[in-house]
Chains A and B, each alone.
Chain A
């Protein structure tokens, strides 16, 4: 076991590496965490994930933009690849939760969806990423196959957004207990609600929190509409 001081140093190294999109540094500190006996889950959540939260803040305050976010995500995944195999049993309230993600058919703009995926990965969710230009019935099939708690659907264009009420209805008809979350440039909370969705995320950082709330509501037998 490392000293408390060394443990803090490793966690800070992971945090700083993600924020500074320094992939080499993240790899180095991830290996150090495993080699020196830092709990892998702690390293992941208190180092990498907290770093990614900071990145989300920097993006929201327009200090970071899409290029910086992409490189931060690369750094995060470099650490996840090393740490994840060493995580014992899960042990967090987020572990075991599952989400299906995808961009609706006719739309290939998936950078936003990929950033949402990063945040869910960082938070310990199991993510089933269908990619972009996803036929509507694929969302239904994948939810049923994985028994995911949440289906997150994204659209960048007003034209592709128009498919969202249909796919939301298809998912809810097949399984009323799955939460549907919508996001993307033309979507607002009002539009998401009018489309029959359970939730909406304004940005990648909010998506994880929103999804967690939706799962809780559904478990309590509530919906966004009652």
Chain B
């Protein structure tokens, strides 16, 4: 079989075709894991060093904060929401108070500027350095998540869904406008795919009913997916949790791939492959909780082999952790995971 580069591997997998080997990529890798394996590398350089097939960029980059209370670490973000830097949240401050505390606040809401040049500095750099070699993927928050975590606050939003549904649509439209512009800019720069992040579910099931998911959550995702396709770019979706009750709704948006198929949330790669493998590419499935944090390297190798056996057949699978390579992941386990993917993931698969 012809040998592909990382970009080709990812794009073929996302198109549910077989590349030369099952690709691998991570939406985020904690700097402590990077430093333990190859000290001092940036995330992008680490992806290159490990020969990962894609480099992913958060739209959190380039955010500007105005200091409100230096002693308490409280800042105001670009939407006017209050956030707080803490000992364990030094780069991404935690939400304190949403921008729109009451419906009336919507009239004076400050809109974040999607065209801020600093948002795109790293993506432009990655495109210059790795374009054509590895897939360059821009991640974008789901409009629902921006509303829930920044503009309106989770509790307010959930109550709004029942008590003032029209207001939810109004706020969603503001978030969608921002994210559509961000996606447009990223595609103009030359990214290979868009990855929409933001959770629709918890471990036991979706946060809101399938009816509300279809009414308030998936329309924004569909708009982004449709736009990506109009530009010839695939759209991937990340959502934690047990998504079985809303899997059909996600697929109906037209997304090309879904991540992370978390076994700890009751998701199974084999079942997902059987039910949806002809419609979407699957990404993830290697448990980043107990397995990558405390398992042995043998456990990890077996889990990778099993994941590829379940989901690799015929392509349409990107082997990755079940969320991110977080700070608790044993560095050696991650190294062994990558080696096992390259070893067991060669097409044609010998054991699937």
Contacts and interface: CB of A to CB of B under 8 A. Distances in A.
Which 4 interchain pairs have the tightest Cβ spacing? Answer: A106-B88, A67-B158, A185-B203, A108-B94
A105 B206 contact: no
Contacts of B204: 203
Contacts of B206: 65
A70 B205 contact: no
Contacts of B350: none
Interface of A: 21, 62, 65-68, 70-71, 74, 105-106, 108, 111-112, 132-133, 135, 156, 158-162, 185-186, 188, 191, 203
Contacts of B328: 158-159, 162
What band does the interface of chain B fall in when counting residues whose beta carbon is under 8 Å from A? 35 or more
A68 B204 CA distance: 16
15 contacts: A62-B205, A65-B206, A67-B208, A67-B212, A71-B159, A105-B86, A105-B88, A106-B88, A132-B94, A133-B94, A158-B323, A159-B30, A159-B327, A161-B289, A186-B264
Contacts, number: 73
A111 B86 contact: no
B158 A158 contact: no
Nearest to A74: B159
The interface residues of chain B, by DSSP majority, are classed as mixed
Contacts of B290: 191
A68 B208 CA distance: 9
B37 interface: no
Nearest to B203: A185
Given A71-B163, A106-B89, A188-B264, 20 more contacts: A65-B209, A66-B207, A67-B159, A67-B208, A67-B212, A71-B159, A74-B159, A105-B86, A105-B87, A108-B94, A108-B95, A132-B94, A135-B87, A156-B202, A158-B288, A158-B293, A160-B88, A185-B202, A185-B241, A186-B289
A88 B293 CA distance: 51
B166 to A, nearest CB: 15
A133 B86 contact: yes
Nearest to B213: A65
Contacts of A156: 202
A188 B240 CA distance: 17
B232 interface: no
Contacts of A203: 204
Interface string B234-260: 000000110001000000000000000
Interface string B143-186: 00000000000110011011100000000000000000000000
Contact of B326 (A66, A158, A191): A158
B233 interface: no
Contacts of A21: 162
Contacts of B202: 112, 156, 185
A102 B289 CA distance: 22
A111 B155 contact: yes
Contacts of A191: 290
Interface string B336-352: 00000000000000000
B161 A186 contact: no
Contacts of B88: 105-106, 160
A65 B208 contact: yes
B185 to A, nearest CB: 29
B110 interface: no
A197 to B, nearest CB: 16
A127 B202 CA distance: 25
Contacts of A66: 158, 207-208
A132 B97 CA distance: 13
B159 A70 contact: yes
Contacts of A105: 86-88
B272 interface: no
